[in-house]
Structure 1
């Protein structure tokens, strides 16, 4: 399948879990499509970018392994994604990567996620926190920053400042996640 054919197929993707999963499984069964879906995701001004993001998020939720050879491409371009409905799945994928990286169980993310990858993810997640993003991207971003902040000693203090500063002006969902993260950070200090 060419990139153009995949692009046309993505027209059939909608918000339903069934469609997202169907196309996530298509990518999982045809790993050669992964660079193509990434290329569509990073057509950041295109209406198909979010649909590529939705499929990629579902694929990574099922199995993140196929993405690992493309972490350079992924992390070098995530900061460019700006359409709200594409930012959310990218933020979720960052959270999935951070969760696996900080997991107690051995997994391949621990061996392939480089310092450069982590730094680009951290930078992008801080952008989510300080820019006018939807609450989901901020929630995934703060969780990612909390997890990767165990390794980077400057991350937690900066995250704490942002969470405390924005707490009063953000939504209930933001406050709930921020409260949870702040509590975990406080526990780590003691």
Structure 2
């Protein structure tokens, strides 16, 4: 979010063919709910293209990167690292501390795909559970970002959008924001 340290989301692991949709949705959720960028594994190029396309059409700023160094990204992060896992501390118990840390330094949110190695748990400043029940990593990311930003991300304005969705009780309306006055 503007005027705050960066929030980046790292998708840890990607199985082509199996995880394409989920990895893409991690990126779209990160973008829509206030993160500044997402980092995908280097074999998730299709997800990168999709998220960049959505950003181009619906506005930014938002960056998408690929890396072959997932562990190094965590290890070398200069800021706070939060790993979302159903085995972590309850989000409602640690969200205030994380929000306070984020006021001072960048935040990396690690979202697992396949089985996450123990070194990710050890490398995180916080291992955080959004419920301690099995659920989608996309749902966990959405709840976490909403808690981090206290709902402010829902009021975000998008720059350089080719399309803008107009909220309606029923129906669908998408306009060119340059033509809407």
When the two structures are superposed, what TM-score results if normalisation uses the length of structure 1? 0.27
Q: Which has the higher helix share?
A: 1
Name which structure has the greater RCO, CA cutoff 8 Å, separation 6+: 2
Bigger strand fraction? 2
